[in-house]
Amino acid sequence: MQIMKNSFLLIITIIISIFPLWSSIKNYQSGVVQFTVLNEMRNNGLTLKGKELIETLDKTYPNISITTLPLYSIQALYDNAFKDYESALENTRRAEGINPYLMFNESIKLMTFKNLGIKDSAYFYAEKALVENPFNPRHYTQYASSLVQQDSIDRLVNEFFNFKFNFDKQIQMAFMSSVIGKEINDKRVDSLAKTLINKNKIELSLLGYYFLNGIENTKKSIETAKKAAVEFAQGQFSKASILYKNAVDLNPYDLMNIQNLGLSYFKDAKYELANECFQTIINSDYPEKMNAHYYLANSLNQLGETQRACENLSIATTLGHEESSLLMYKICNKLE
């Protein structure tokens, strides 16, 4: 009897010992797959290998990834990438109720319905995801896209300016991307586009240019400015000024091209034309004006307008332009 009791205890002990080992093995296997899959998601490069890995993974133990995203939702993301929408809908159904606060599953649902062309359902889940998790640029992007699909541009604009997180740069980028090429008569959008231009960030500036000036003109302006820069570097200032003038005509919102046009005129001894360019920048909302004041001062000095030159040098120096203080020492002491 004692032998049977000891044998039973031994079996129980073995079972108890095996469970943590089995659990560790399952977690390790899951971790290896998740590392590959999450890396693909992070780099926006979903592959067939990743799809096969997530399909064969035992997602019942547990059904959340190391990032707390539901594994079935991740599989549905792969399903969408490879146009297996029936499977995507089934996997989002399986993921319902699993860590719902992230709204990741709703995000995948709306993606699936959007791909299927079911606009009402896509909008429903886009709105739900945004309401529950509003400070998520991905959710806002999908919501904006759903409104564009419904041709609800006026609503998109009005809701954006009432949206409490519209100060976020990614959300601003998503909004501007949605309205580019659309007929919008709303000064608030124009103002936002100009604000993005003045942030000195290429991706933001391009969105502002695309909205205000059109994509085609903006691209032509950029290419023309590149050619102008080559001519300027080779000392062909007259040719450079012609090209920069063309670039400005194509995109009058790009103040850097206006400044470069002014420098080309200055190097070509066309000081009056140069002054007009520099003054345009000074009169604008462009935040970096110290260079324009410095260049204008140099041009005015060439014209013999020393008093005005010194006034601009003083402003440039106050703004932190080091070369301006040196030039002030050379030419402004004469006025004392």
- Which domains are seen in the chain, by residue range? 218-335 (1.25.40.10)
Task: Give the mean pLDDT of 211-215.
Answer: 93
Confidence of residue 66 (pLDDT cuts 50, 70, 90): low
| Higher-confidence position of 33 and 280 | 280
| Higher-confidence position of 67 and 142 | 142
Which pLDDT score, from 0 to 100, does residue 3 have?
Answer: 52
Chain segment 129-173, per-residue pLDDT in tens: 888 888 788 888 888 888 888 889 999 999 999 998 888 888 998
Residue 60, pLDDT above cutoff 80? no
Count of CB atoms situated within 10 Å of the CB of 263: 22
Which pLDDT score, from 0 to 100, does residue 67 have?
Answer: 59
Confidence of residue 224 (pLDDT cuts 50, 70, 90): very high
110: nearest Cα among 158, 142, 69: 142
Which pLDDT score, from 0 to 100, does residue 63 have?
Answer: 58
Q: Within its chain, how far is the Cα of 36 from the centroid?
A: 25
Task: Give the mean pLDDT of 288-294.
Answer: 91
Residue 335, pLDDT above cutoff 60? no
Which pLDDT score, from 0 to 100, does residue 170 have?
Answer: 87
Residue 244, pLDDT above cutoff 70? yes
Task: Give the mean pLDDT of 91-101.
Answer: 83
Task: Give the mean pLDDT of 70-86.
Answer: 88
What rounded mean pLDDT belongs to the chain? 83
Rank 141-145, 174-178, 284-288, 322-326 by mean pLDDT and report only the highest.
174-178
Rank 43-47, 75-79, 183-187, 228-232 by mean pLDDT and report only the highest.
228-232
The answer to which of 50-54, 241-245, 321-325 has the lowest mean pLDDT is 50-54
SS3 letters across the chain: CHHHHHHHHHHHHHHHHHHHHHHHHHHHHHHHHHHHHHHHHHCCCCCHHHHHHHHHCCCCCCCECCCCCEHHHHHHHHHHHCCCHHHHHHHHHHCCCCCHHHCHHHHHHHHHHHHHCCHHHHHHHHHHHHHHCCCCHHHHHHHHHHHHHCCCHHHHHHHHHHCCCCCCHHHHHHHHHHHCCCCCCCHHHHHHHHHHHCCCCHHHHHHHHHHHHCHHHHHHHHHHHHHHHHHHHCCCHHHHHHHHHHHHHHCCCCHHHHHHHHHHHHHCCCHHHHHHHHHHHHCCCCCCCHHHHHHHHHHHHHCCCHHHHHHHHHHHHHCCCHHHHHHHHHHCHHHC
Residue 264, pLDDT above cutoff 80? yes
Which pLDDT score, from 0 to 100, does residue 125 have?
Answer: 81
Which pLDDT score, from 0 to 100, does residue 297 have?
Answer: 94
Which pLDDT score, from 0 to 100, does residue 156 have?
Answer: 92
Which pLDDT score, from 0 to 100, does residue 155 have?
Answer: 92
Which pLDDT score, from 0 to 100, does residue 213 have?
Answer: 93
Which pLDDT score, from 0 to 100, does residue 31 have?
Answer: 54
Task: Give the mean pLDDT of 196-219.
Answer: 87
Task: Give the mean pLDDT of 21-41.
Answer: 56
Task: Give the mean pLDDT of 228-254.
Answer: 96
Which pLDDT score, from 0 to 100, does residue 15 have?
Answer: 43
Which pLDDT score, from 0 to 100, does residue 200 have?
Answer: 65
Residue 32, pLDDT above cutoff 70? no
